[in-house]
Amino acid sequence: MSRIGKKEIPVPPGVKISINGTLLEVTGPKGSLKRNFRDDIAITAGEKSVSLKAKRNDKFSKSLWGTYAAHIKNMIKGVREPYQKKLILEGVGFKSEATGKEMKFALGFSHPVKMSIPEGITATAEKNIITIAGIDKESVGSFAAAIRALKKAEPYKGKGFRYEGEIVRRKQGKKTA
């Protein structure tokens, strides 16, 4: 049994939820999100709350129950206030800039690295702090992870991308005798 799935999800004022078959749409002041859900879970949307119920009593349905509840909570929160991730780029000569729908990085390679910004996400680069914001938590997190994967923070000098608040464990370099 899912403890998260059992609880009703409150719908704040200004947020509208509509269900059309397996498609759930959440509309709020910042925009709207759509997501397809499997029909293993019965989703009922009221005026002030959303409730979920597993149709079958097998392990797969029970695991989806809590996951779908978390997805719906994230959608409701996202249409009210955008999700935000910050990445910090450290290293001598490492630069980042956001122009239009593209980000350009100088990461110590022989060429500049370019990444296109996905739809529904805004990215800004001030000095070496990159801010990624959007209403969809999943797309914001995956874009931030894709940027971080370009050059992860290495343990000797700490050069590369790291999340704000992330602690990079440092290693001791070679000892000179």
Provide the number of structural domains found in the chain.
2
Of residues 89 and 6, which shows the higher confidence score? 89
- Identify the domain containing residue 142 by its residue range: 83-163
- Note whether 11 and 65 are same-domain residues: yes
CA distances from 79 to 74, 132, 177 (A): 9, 16, 59
Q: DSSP readout, 64-126?
A: HHHHHHHHHHHHHHHHHS-EEEEEEEESTT-EEEEETTEEEEE-SSSS-EEEEPPTTEEEEEE
Nearest to 87 by CA among 135, 61, 125, 138: 125
Residue after which a domain boundary falls, among 56, 80, 104 = 80
pLDDT of residue 2: 65
- Whether residue 114 is contained in a domain is answered as yes
- Whether residue 11 is contained in a domain is answered as yes
pLDDT of residue 1: 56
Q: What is the total residue count of the chain? A: 177
Question: The domain spanning residue 30 has which CATH number?
Answer: 3.90.930.12
Q: CA Rg, the chain, in Å? A: 21
pLDDT at 67 over 80: yes
Using 50, 70 and 90 to split pLDDT, how confident is the model at 174?
confident
Read off the pLDDT of residues 99-113 as tens digits, 9 standing for 90 and up: 989 999 999 999 999
- Note whether 73 and 92 are same-domain residues: no
- Whether residue 61 is contained in a domain is answered as yes
- Note whether 90 and 154 are same-domain residues: yes
Nearest to 80 by CA among 144, 143, 135: 135
Residue after which a domain boundary falls, among 25, 55, 80 = 80
Residue after which a domain boundary falls, among 47, 63, 80 = 80
- Whether residue 175 is contained in a domain is answered as no
